[in-house]
Amino acid sequence: MKEKRGRLVRSASSGISSGLSGAKRLSGALTNPDEVVEQVPERERKEVGEPGEAEPLEDDARARSPVGLQQPLQLPHTPVIDSEYEPKEKSVFDSAVVDTQETQDIENTSEIRDELMRCIEHEQVGRIKQMLSPSHAKSAHIPVDWLNEFGESPALCAARNGHVKSCAVLLDQGADPLARDRSVKFFGDGTGVWPDGSNPLGHGKVNNPRARAGRTVVYCLKTKGIFEETLAETWPATRIRVLRAIAHALQDFHQRSPLVVVATHGYVDLAALLLTHTVALPPPVVAPPPRSTAPALSASLPDGLQEFCEPKQVNVPSDRAEALLAACSFEHWQIALVVLAAGVTRSSIDCVKDKLDRTPLHLAASFGQERLVGMLLQAGASPHVWSRRGRQPLHEAATAGHAEVCACLLEGGASLDTRVGESGIGRQIRSSGDMNKNALEIAMDCGHVHILERMATLQTTGHGKSFQRTRMF
């Protein structure tokens, strides 16, 4: 009990002493408040506020409120504006930074282009692929067909300088094979796509509104003699794309099939490439006429007469057959051999004729092309077709004096008994006196004795059935 009273006394005394110390501090603050402020820590000073500052408006409003502190202060609403959406004026410093960045981009672009041209010159294939690949960090600054100060693309520069591998890589990366230089002259047939050898320095004028001046990448590659080598270095899809571009350019300019254009101008290499890559050939210019939907006339006739009134199927010549005729008409025999080797249908090989109704076999026999005549006969060409002058291919060969061609035609089924104009064709045309004559009589009149000797040799060997019925003299 005594101990409990002692603890109470001690606690009371400590409370009294602390109260006295607080009173002393309060009395000192009233006499000199600056000293007390210095003694208060900085953290407490921030929470309490500097002396002399006005109290918050919220406390005053609550004090004046009749309800007291239970009702919160209603302040006027101020809209909050996000600084992200505030319109910011572009300062002079910002515009200077943008101009500096654009200048650096231009300088970097020129440096990259210069580096690309050095790689093309030295044929650094790996580096060219890396710089033009989409994954390259700076590839957006160097398109594959950008133009230099002379208006030439990198592929055109590589083709002009004879860089095979560099040009092949650029074509694989999508370079335009028909990109042109800034020459004001016309080259080749007026398209500037393929050289024809007639005027390598170019023409001043071409009478065709679709003609375009300048030389293309393909033209430069061909004049340098590296076109086939460059194509061999490219991917198969790139070869088809290049040949398709050439075919479309020729067809758009001449409004004819590219094979016919190539055969007319004698482009042997291009003909072989187009025939071996037929997928690159565009569709024909003129589409076949649509079939009539009207009811046939034979539907109202008896059953026995319907077959005579049915329209006959007309064989439409193919592009290859027309190219074959064009090659024979312009004496491009190598192209004719290439076309025949690629294949011509039997139904169209005799459908193509020139203005005198001569087939390719007539023309080959007239010019003494023995190999071509043999290939035509093997391909299915008929030796019994009449021309407008009433002649067959054997008559043409006998008139021109080609003994071996005559022998080849006789072995292919031609007959010595047929006479000029025998079928009634050609009688309206006044010939030079060979009407109603066979091949031997024509050869005798023209003085081709070697043909008679060759025919006699064939008669003794027993080649051909027509020799046994024909008198030599």
Q: Are residues 347 and 363 in the same domain?
A: no
pLDDT at 153: 94
Range in 37-51, 160-174, 396-410 the model is least confident about: 37-51
Q: Are residues 378 and 344 in the same domain?
A: no
Q: What is the distance between the alpha carbons of residues 247 and 254, in angstroms, rounded to a whole number? A: 11
Contact 377, 408 (CB under 8 A): yes
406 within some domain = yes
How confident is the model over 124-149, as a mean pLDDT? Answer: 78
Joined together, the tokens standing for residue 30 give: 């009233």
Tell me the C-alpha to C-alpha distance, in Å, between residue 374 and each of 37, 146, 406, 416, 454: 125, 53, 11, 18, 17
226 within some domain = no
**CATH number of the structural domain spanning residue 391:** 1.25.40.20
Residue with tokens 């590219």: 258
Q: Which of 298, 330, 352 is the last residue of a domain?
A: 352
Cα–chain center distance at 5: 112
Residue 33 has pLDDT above 50, yes or no: no
Residue 42 has pLDDT above 70, yes or no: no
Q: Are residues 358 and 472 in the same domain?
A: yes
Assign 3-class secondary structure to 142-192.
CCCCCCCCCCCCHHHHHHHCCCHHHHHHHHHCCCCCCCECCCCCECCCCCC
Backbone angles phi, psi at 312, to 5 degrees: -80, 145
Residue 356 has pLDDT above 60, yes or no: yes
Q: Is 72 exposed, middle or buried (0-12, 13-18, 19+ CB in 10 A)?
A: exposed
pLDDT at 293: 42
470 within some domain = yes
Q: Are residues 359 and 471 in the same domain?
A: yes
In this prediction, residue 436 has a pLDDT band, given cuts at 50, 70 and 90, of: confident
Q: Are residues 272 and 378 in the same domain?
A: no
Count structural domains, the chain: 2
Q: Helix (H, G, I), strand (E, B), or coil: what is residue 32?
A: coil
Q: What is the distance between the alpha carbons of residues 465 and 469, in angstroms, rounded to a whole number? A: 8
What residues are paired with 186 via a beta bridge? 203
pLDDT per residue as tens digits for the range 173-191: 999 999 999 999 999 888 9
pLDDT at 402: 94
220 within some domain = no
How confident is the model over 340-366, as a mean pLDDT? Answer: 94
Range in 43-52, 269-278, 282-291, 451-460 the model is least confident about: 43-52
Residue 141 has pLDDT above 70, yes or no: no
Higher pLDDT, 191 or 53: 191
Q: CA torsion angle for 278, 343, 373, 381 (degrees, to 10)?
A: -130
In this prediction, residue 354 has a pLDDT band, given cuts at 50, 70 and 90, of: very high
Q: Are residues 424 and 367 in the same domain?
A: yes
Q: What is the mean pLDDT of the chain?
A: 76
Q: Are residues 244 and 344 in the same domain?
A: yes
Q: Are residues 405 and 472 in the same domain?
A: yes
Q: Are residues 321 and 257 in the same domain?
A: yes
Q: Are residues 385 and 343 in the same domain?
A: no
Q: What is the distance between the alpha carbons of residues 398 and 245, in angstroms, rounded to a whole number? A: 45
Q: What is the distance between the alpha carbons of residues 467 and 378, in angstroms, rounded to a whole number? A: 22
278 within some domain = yes
Q: Which of 299, 331, 352 is the last residue of a domain?
A: 352
Half-sphere exposure of 398 (CA within 13 A, CB side): 27
How confident is the model over 242-258, as a mean pLDDT? Answer: 95
pLDDT at 21: 57
Q: Are residues 347 and 358 in the same domain?
A: no
In this prediction, residue 44 has a pLDDT band, given cuts at 50, 70 and 90, of: very low
pLDDT per residue as tens digits for the range 81-94: 444 444 445 454 44
Q: What is the distance between the alpha carbons of residues 282 and 278, in angstroms, rounded to a whole number? A: 9
pLDDT per residue as tens digits for the range 361-414: 999 999 999 999 999 999 999 999 999 989 999 999 999 999 999 999 999 999
438 within some domain = yes
In this prediction, residue 269 has a pLDDT band, given cuts at 50, 70 and 90, of: very high
pLDDT per residue as tens digits for the range 306-346: 444 444 444 556 899 999 999 999 999 999 999 999 999 98
374 within some domain = yes
Q: What amino acid occupies position 404? A: E
pLDDT per residue as tens digits for the range 416-431: 889 988 776 655 555 5
Residue 27 has pLDDT above 60, yes or no: no
- Model confidence pTM above 0.75: no
Domain extent for 254: 238-286+316-352
pLDDT at 300: 53
How confident is the model over 135-151, as a mean pLDDT? Answer: 74
Q: Are residues 361 and 395 in the same domain?
A: yes
pLDDT at 454: 85
Max avg pLDDT among 10-14, 269-273, 467-471: 269-273
How confident is the model over 1-25, as a mean pLDDT? Answer: 56
pLDDT at 393: 96
pLDDT at 13: 58
Q: Which of 334, 352, 370 is the last residue of a domain?
A: 352
How confident is the model over 231-245, as a mean pLDDT? Answer: 96
